[in-house]
């Protein structure tokens, strides 16, 4: 900020940043606020007990989830979700890199991968229950069984799409295999890997809920199903809103991590657009 006699001048760049921030906040909050207002108007004009107003749901949210239920249901669900996503990333990136770098292995496994990927993961829950029992391990395995595929397939395509000129140049300079892997293969495939992780997060959240609805005595999925079976409608809606909030939080955290990991990639795109 620059001061002159009788007036204060704000630099245009700082003012533009402030305008962009305000516009971003309005864009992010405008539609949710509008939907809440419409929801409240519709709820006041209906007599259905299955469509409570936002104030009733907010009261049920505080009464249900602020307290012991957060520790007994929410935290264990988030822990299983985190373990499932972490295991999916490790398995998907490791197996996808090996398959992508090995043409004959890729051709050999492609039919099998397409077959297994086409099997809906919820169908495997009874099988997992028989093999692993009704345990947290079973629920994590169910999450991994669905979330690993977007990461695996995107990693394979990302590794396959590496410029052959870069690979040949690295070999010409006698770059070791591990150095090519860490400084060429994985960075070049990282945009596709991150796209797969983004898809896997939504799949993992869905499977976390489904696995808890099938066989569990605690967790978000179990609580929502319990509220539905006992006609606790406001509490059921509060659980659905909590799941939506978890999804938004995952998206925000992933966006921050993605911008950090792919900073070089976004920089190249900005230069190409300029």
Q: What is the pLDDT of residues 56-72, one digit of tens each?
A: 888 888 988 888 888 88
Which residues sit opposite 161 in a β-bridge?
none
Q: Is residue 15 pLDDT above 70, yes or no?
A: no
- Burial per residue of 76-113, b for 16 or more beta-carbon CB atoms within 10 angstroms, e otherwise: bbbebbebbbebbbeebbebbbebbbeeeebeeeeeeb
Residues above pLDDT 90, as percent of the chain: 28
Q: Is residue 193 pLDDT above 80, yes or no?
A: yes
Mean pLDDT throughout 76-88? 94
DSSP per residue, 164-208 = HHHHHHHHHTT--HHHHIIIIIHHHHHHHHHHHHHHHHHHHHHHH
Mean pLDDT throughout 81-89? 95
**What is the pTM (predicted TM-score) of this model?**
0.82
């Amino acid at each position: 900020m620059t001061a002159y006699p009788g007036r204060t001048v704000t630099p245009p760049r700082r003012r533009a940043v402030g305008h962009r921030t305000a516009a971003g906040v309005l864009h992010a909050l405008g539609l949710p606020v509008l939907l809440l207002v419409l929801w409240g108007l519709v709820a006041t004009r209906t007599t259905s007990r299955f469509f409570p107003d936002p104030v009733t749901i907010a009261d049920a949210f505080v009464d249900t989830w602020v307290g012991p239920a957060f520790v007994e249901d929410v935290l264990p669900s988030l822990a299983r979700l985190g373990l499932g996503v972490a295991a999916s990333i490790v398995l998907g990136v490791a197996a996808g890199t090996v398959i992508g770098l090995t043409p004959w292995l890729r051709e050999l496994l492609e039919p099998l991968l397409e077959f297994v990927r086409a099997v809906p993961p919820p169908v495997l829950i009874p099988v997992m229950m028989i093999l692993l029992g009704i345990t947290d391990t079973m629920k994590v395995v169910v999450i991994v069984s669905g979330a690993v595929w977007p990461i695996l397939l995107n990693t394979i395509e990302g590794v396959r799409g590496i410029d052959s000129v870069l690979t040949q140049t690295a070999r010409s300079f006698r770059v070791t295999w591990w150095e090519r892997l860490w400084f060429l293969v994985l960075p070049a495939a990282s945009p596709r890997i991150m796209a797969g992780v983004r898809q896997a997060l939504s799949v993992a959240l869905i499977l976390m809920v489904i696995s808890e609805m099938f066989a569990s005595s605690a967790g978000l999925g179990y609580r929502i199903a319990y509220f539905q079976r006992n006609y606790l409608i406001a509490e059921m809606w509060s659980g659905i809103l909590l799941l939506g909030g978890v999804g938004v939080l995952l998206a925000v955290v992933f966006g921050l991590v993605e911008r950090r990991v792919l900073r070089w990639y976004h920089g190249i795109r900005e230069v190409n657009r300029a």
